[in-house]
Amino acid sequence: MGSLRKLAVIVSAAAFASWWQAPLAHSAPAIPRAEQPAACPATGAALQVLGSGGPIAEWAGEAGRAGTSYLLWIDGKPRLLIDAGAGSFLRFAQAGGTVASLDAILLTHLHADHAGDLAGVLNSGGFETRSAPLPIIGPDSADRFPGTTEFLARLLDKEAGAFAYNGGFVDGTEGKFLIAPHDITTAAGEADPAGLDVSNDYSVIAHPVHHGVVPALGFVIEWQGRTAVITGDQSALSQRFLADLTASKPVILFAHHVINGGAGQPRGLHRTPEQIGVLAGALAPARLVLTHNMQRSLSPLAESLAAIAKGYSGPVSVAADLDCFAL
């Protein structure tokens, strides 16, 4: 009798667990994903999303997201790091990234969720064998925002830097490779695009964008006639960006998907889903990838996708950390 009672309890517990879990699974939004290879391809070019998250530390089951970061692979080698948001230091290691093989590091802007792990990445690179200077290219300055050159000096200056012990990166001494910072003029998103001389194997153009008062950039990467566009954090006031890239037809448009357009969301910093759709409709990419995701933008995903579809009818994917997209 005792055994039967125990069995009844076990069955009841299993039934309760099934009942409890079913509504959760049913209510979870369906997240569209592109088919992903097990790793970035060994030949050709690919952009890997190291960090697909935003500025809030969020964890949903196994779907944790590091701060924004991308890694460009050419023929199996990591060549270009774009942004290094909080948590991307670990993703860089998971992906097999090496500082020694990088042509440059690019920064869309100097918010912590885009540059918070930069010091850690550089520190790690100090344990590798690298002799060539490493360009670090990002936006210029504005009130309360140092330019990229000053930002790096505040981090690494041998006398006054926050990490003065790593000051050898500033002048190439103490067993460190030399960093070569460079500021791009942004003018609140109205400055001219700037070609970046970082490699003969591919080209990069920095496009100033509007991100409120924050100096900010988007990037266009071209390899053998195929392009990927990274919007960076930008508002719908980035009219120069839209005009310059209209009908460019990139293979992939990586759009930063931070707000859902509802009441109480910040204004003047990011494109809403409907505004992302307008941008994608103008550029006409083969695929739109939503990244820099937050729970506030993923929870109403069906509504966001419907808003995007008003302007863009192509395929849409939501990135997760370490997703890799071939060009």
Domain map of the chain by residue range? 39-324
Question: Are the CB atoms for 50 and 95 separated by under 8 Å?
Answer: yes
Rounded CA separation 232/219 (Å): 8
The structure tokens listed for 265 are 């969301």
The structure tokens listed for 105 are 């590091």
Tens digits of residue pLDDT in 65-121: 999 999 999 999 999 999 999 999 999 999 999 999 999 999 999 999 999 999 999
pLDDT class of 19 with cuts at 50, 70, 90: very low
Average pLDDT for residues 228-246, to the nearest whole number?
A: 97
**Is 154 a residue whose pLDDT tops 50?**
yes
Q: Does domain 39-324 have CATH number 3.40.50.720?
A: no
3-state secondary structure of 153: helix
Whether this model's pTM surpasses 0.85: yes
Q: Where are the beta strands (DSSP E) in 185-313?
A: 194-196, 203-209, 216-223, 226-230, 252-256, 287-291
Q: Cα 173 vs. chain centroid, distance in angstroms?
A: 31
* Closest alpha carbon to 170 in 197, 215, 159, 100: 159
